[in-house]
Chain A
C-alpha cells in the first residue's frame, strides 16, 4: 500500500467521524465551553477545515485556499490577523481564549459545506503525490519538513480535535 492511499483512507475515516459527531448539534452546544479557556466544538470544527485548507494549499502547491477562492472569507469574515502572528493564525491556530470567545461562527451547515469543498480540493492535491515525492522538502531551510510530514500533520491533526470533541460531548452530556 502506498502512503498516499493510506492517508486518503485515513482522512476519509476521520472526516466521517467528525461529521457524525457534530451533525445535529445545536448552536448552543457548538458554542459551549467547560471553562473560559477551553475551545468549543463549533470553533474546533471550523478550525479543522480552515487549517487543512491553508496547510495543504500552501505546503503542497495548490494555489489559493478554498476559503478565499470560494468566497467564504467574504461571506464569513473573521477578525484581521494581528501583527507578527504566524501564517497559520487565520485558521484559528494559536488564538487566545478571548479571540476564540469572539469567533464569528457561521451556521453549522455552512461550515460543513465549506469543509466538504476544502476536502475535495485537498484530496485532488494529495492524489497528485506519490511515495517518491514525499521526501521532497517544502522548506529549503529545513530538509526534514517534507511533503510526507505535511501528510502526517493532516492525518493526525483532525484526530486530535476529534478526541477533544468526543470529550466535550461527554462533558456536555454529564452536565445536562
Chain B
C-alpha cells in the first residue's frame, strides 16, 4: 500500500461519514445548536466542504476553489463578509456565534457542493506529485506545504464529523425532530 492509496481510503471514509451523518437530518435538526455558542450540523458540514475545496483547488492545484468558480454561494444564506475578514473567513473559520447561527443551508445543495468538491478532490489526489511534498505553497496567511495539507485533509474533517455525530446524539436525547 502506498501513501496515495492510504490517503484516498481515509478521505473516502471521512467523506462518507459526513454524508451518512447529515443526509437524513430535518431542517430543524440541521440548524440545531445545544447552546448559542456551539456550531450546528449544517455549518460543520459546510465548513468541512469549504476547507476540502480550499485544500484541493487552491493549495494542491492552481485552478481556484469551486465555491467561487461555480458560484455555489448563491445557494446558501451566508453572512455578509466583515470588513476585517481574513483569508480564512470564507471557509467558516473564525465566524462568530452570531454568524454561525444565521447561516442556513438546504441539505440537497450542501451535499451537492460536498460531492462536487470530493469527486474533484479525488482526481487531484490521484495525480498529486508525492515526491515533492515539502515545496512551499503560496498563501498569504501561513507557511504551508503539500505535506501539511495531506495531514489536515484527514484530521480536519474527522474531528468535525465526530462533532456532527455528537450533536445527533444530543438531539436524540432531547427529542429534537
Contact = CB atoms under 8 A, between A and B. Distances in A.
Contacts of B34: 34, 171
Q: Return the 10 tightest CB-CB contacts between A and B, nearest first.
A: A163-B162, A163-B159, A159-B158, A134-B1, A174-B35, A160-B162, A148-B1, A35-B173, A3-B6, A163-B163
Interface stretch (A8-16, A59-67, A85-93, A117-125): A8-16
Given A1-B147, A163-B160, A171 B38 contact: yes
B6 A13 contact: no
A1 B133 contact: yes
Interface in A29-52: 34-38
Contacts of A170: 35, 37-38
27 contacts: A1-B147, A2-B3, A10-B155, A14-B155, A34-B170, A35-B173, A35-B174, A38-B166, A131-B1, A131-B3, A146-B1, A152-B6, A152-B9, A155-B10, A156-B158, A159-B154, A160-B159, A160-B162, A163-B160, A163-B162, A164-B166, A167-B163, A167-B167, A170-B38, A174-B35, A174-B37, A175-B35
A37 B1 CA distance: 39
B13 interface: yes
Interface string B32-63: 00111110000000000000000000000000
B14 interface: yes
Contacts of A37: 169, 173
**Number of chain B interface residues as a range:** 20 to 34
Nearest to B162: A163
Nearest to B10: A152
Interface of A: 1-3, 6, 9-10, 13-14, 34-38, 131, 134-135, 146, 148-149, 151-152, 155-156, 159-164, 166-168, 170-171, 173-175
Contacts of A166: 159, 163
A6 B150 contact: yes
Contact of A164 (B2, B38, B162): B162
A13 B153 CA distance: 14
A86 to B, nearest CB: 20
B151 A13 contact: yes
A3 B2 contact: yes
A10 to B, nearest CB: 6
B66 interface: no
Contacts, number: 99
A151 B161 CA distance: 19
Contacts of A171: 34-35, 38
A167 B164 CA distance: 10
Contacts of B147: 1
Contact of A159 (B3, B6, B159, B173): B159
A9 B151 contact: yes
Given A34-B34, A151-B6, A174-B35, A161 B162 contact: yes
Contact of A38 (B1, B13, B130, B169): B169
A148 B3 CA distance: 10
A51 to B, nearest CB: 14
B173 A36 contact: yes
Contacts of A155: 10, 154
A87 to B, nearest CB: 22
Given A152-B10, A174-B37, 4 more contacts: A34-B34, A34-B170, A131-B1, A131-B2
